[in-house]
Amino acid sequence: MKLKKLISTFSERYDYLVLTKGPNLAYAVGMPDALGLVVDLKSGYSVLYVSRLDYTRAKAAAPVDKVVAVTSAEVPPRRPGEELVVASSLSELVKGLKGNVASDNKEIGVDVSGEVAELRAVKEEWEVEAIKAALKITEEVYARLSQMRLVGLRERDVAALVYRWFIEDGADGVAFDPIVASGPNGAYPHYRFGDRRINYGDYVVVDIGAKKGVYCSDMTRTFALGQSGVLRDAMYAVYEAVKAAEKTAREGIAAAEVDKAAREVLAEYGFAQYFIHSTGHGVGVEVHEPPRLSATSRDTLKRGHVVTIEPGVYIEGVGGVRIEDMVYIDGGAVVLNRTPHII
Amino acid sequence: MKLKKLISTFSERYDYLVLTKGPNLAYAVGMPDALGLVVDLKSGYSVLYVSRLDYTRAKAAAPVDKVVAVTSAEVPPRRPGEELVVASSLSELVKGLKGNVASDNKEIGVDVSGEVAELRAVKEEWEVEAIKAALKITEEVYARLSQMRLVGLRERDVAALVYRWFIEDGADGVAFDPIVASGPNGAYPHYRFGDRRINYGDYVVVDIGAKKGVYCSDMTRTFALGQSGVLRDAMYAVYEAVKAAEKTAREGIAAAEVDKAAREVLAEYGFAQYFIHSTGHGVGVEVHEPPRLSATSRDTLKRGHVVTIEPGVYIEGVGGVRIEDMVYIDGGAVVLNRTPHII
């Protein structure tokens, strides 16, 4: 948890820091369900406000000086030692703070949500390890799927196995609902899963990510159950686009350059117009967070960023191909995946 | 989808309706991922704004007059017939509207989110059928679990089966992450699942809900793997509290009265201080929505409300018991569940 980092970042400029957004609370103290965190930046004293249902868990687990349960009505404390305050919102609780307040909530003090997002984008080693632990669970599912006969299963049967294996293997949840898009359904990047049965000749886009603790993973492979047609060419084009983007990505480069590298390869293969989304995004306590790797991104890649590289080709009425790795940005891009790109 | 109902509700008072929140978009047009909906309330003409990735799906499925894809940068349309506008926010798109604008977004026009929530709380018959379809999938999982030997399984193994069976049986997702809280973990209403192995003598609180289309279900049963101790008494007290609350709930009664009925039964059994949350909540496109059934609720139950009845007892260091039904409010409360309360 990054409470110390937040304090050192903001203590020169502000007297208090107030966080209210789930992902920022996950990042700061590991409790996405908390109602709010108030830190006295001069002394470092921190108070976490939680629902009374979360009081005991927060007392045990959150690295803060004090935990306070919040209720919206006058009721007596019911747990030993429970400190209970009546308030209908965090704004109400913090309006007594005297001094400069930095907050991720526009209604409270100076909005520093952009700065918090930038801090979150740069991962420390232990955060990268947490992401790798989540990714390991995800990769294990691809290993199992690659040994299975997918033909005849419905997309939802594959999705059901993904959920089951994630949780059995130690995931604390899914980073997002699985995508299992077979045949023509692969043409829609936002498709989830449905009743369609996977057939011979299908390309099946499987985009999944386990969550471990509060950290996410995000990965895609496309299973080719046929070896002919335009999607075969697309598979190789996407594979080359991934390699080009990963070769381009490094500390100090514009994120838009990485997008451009992938896009140029797809253009060479004649697929430019079929790559209808951006090349990647940061991953951390949220599955989509800064930086953005797109044509219009103004972000620069920094050492410590963990981002996806995920070009794709989507042809309506035919299907789709997407390959997605996670990479750690250093002098170059360190690919965190171990699964082959074409499986 | 309730677009017509929204139009008839607001057309007398406003010229335009703008919806921007996922659950309201799910309710209005079945697309929680859309960026926004703009309705000319005089003519009824409706425009849905979506990500370009969702354009084809929205064109095919959304009951609106026009679908427009939004991009944040100048790029050419890439799909046949695609109408593409450049905008960084919906506020930017709708600032040209001349007249009174009603919106669920504080930054756009008059905030009618409370009124939309009230509309959403009162379900039509087809919405109740959708909720029942989701609940049926959930109940099937309890039927399977009740025939299994739970002792020796980890909580996460049970959670993994829940996910798998939901999706295999036709769910489109989970309404919320499953709760499988065994033994002492049952004392925490917000516990999810962990590595603990279920043991002889445990009480295991299982709180799960499948989602079908955009509608949610929410249900709890507590599996008693022992028959002695304070939790045995708690089980009967909670059962009686459920019955009392369901007998009390009906059209026209204060929601707080239903909470009181449950609370009084638990008090008779000496468990008043161990019931640390409210008795229930509405369920629809969101798993928690109005009305609230709590001691401080000002809501009145209306015909068409679908709410949970879910008293519980939570004893730290020992465990917990919760039983949760879904009921439809009519002259009385029609219990939608078919699974026995004690299984």
Within 8 A of A57 by CB-CB distance, chain B residues are 188, 190-191
Q: By CB neighbour count within 10 A (0-12 exposed, 13-18 middle, 19+ buried), where does B51 fall?
A: middle
Taking an 8 Å cut-off on Cβ atoms, the answer to whether A170 and B163 are in contact is no
> In 3-state terms, what secondary structure has residue A23?
helix
Domain residue spans of chain B: 2-120, 125-335
- Looking at the complex, report in whole angstroms how far the Cα of residue B259 sits from the nearest Cα belonging to chain A: 14
Say if A2-120 and A125-335 have the same CATH topology: no
CA–CA separation, B280 and B100 (whole Å):
36
Q: Do B167 and A156 touch (CB under 8 A)?
A: yes
Three-state secondary-structure class, residue B81: coil
Question: B172 and A191 in contact by Cβ < 8 A?
Answer: no
CA distance A198 to A185: 11
Predicted structure pTM score: 0.94
**Phi first, then psi: what are they for B207, rounded to 5°?**
-120, 110
Chain B residues with CB-CB distance to A190 below 8 A: 33, 51, 53-54, 57
Q: In this complex, do B156 and A167 lie within 8 Å of one another by their Cβ atoms?
A: yes
Q: Following DSSP, what letter does each residue of B109-142 receive, concatenated?
A: SEE-HHHHHHHHHB--HHHHHHHHHHHHHHHHHH
- Our CA-based measurement puts residue A11 at a distance from the nearest CA of chain B, in whole angstroms, of 32
- Given an 8 Å threshold on Cβ–Cβ distance, is A193 in contact with B167? yes
Pairing relation of β-strands A319-322 and A289-293?
Answer: unpaired
**Which member of A53, A72, A160 has the closest CB to residue B163?**
A160
Q: CB A22: neighbour CB atoms within 10 A? A: 15
CATH architecture of A125-335: Alpha-Beta Complex (3.90)
Contact B172 A189 (CB under 8 A): no
Strands (E), B123-226: 173-174, 179-182, 203-208, 210-212, 215-216, 219-224
Question: CATH homologous superfamily for B2-120?
Answer: Creatinase/prolidase N-terminal domain (3.40.350.10)
A82, amino acid identity: E
**CB-closest option in B52, B160, B296 to A163:** B160
ipTM comes to 0.92
pLDDT tens for chain A, residues 1 to 343: 689 999 999 999 999 999 999 999 999 999 999 999 999 999 999 999 998 888 888 998 899 999 999 887 666 556 667 787 877 778 888 888 889 999 999 889 999 999 999 999 999 999 999 999 999 999 999 999 999 999 999 999 999 999 999 999 999 999 999 999 999 999 999 899 999 999 999 999 999 999 999 999 999 999 999 877 999 999 999 999 999 999 999 999 999 999 999 999 999 999 999 998 999 999 999 999 999 999 999 999 999 999 999 999 999 899 999 999 999 999 999 999 999 999 8
Which of B163, B177, B263, B275 has the highest number of chain A CBs within 10 A, making it the mutation to test binding with A?
B163
Q: Nearest-CA distance from A27 to chain B in Å? A: 19
Task: Count other C-beta atoms under 10 Å from residue B91's C-beta.
Answer: 15
The answer to whether the CB atoms of B167 and A173 lie below 8 A apart is no
Strands A16-19 and A36-40 come out as antiparallel
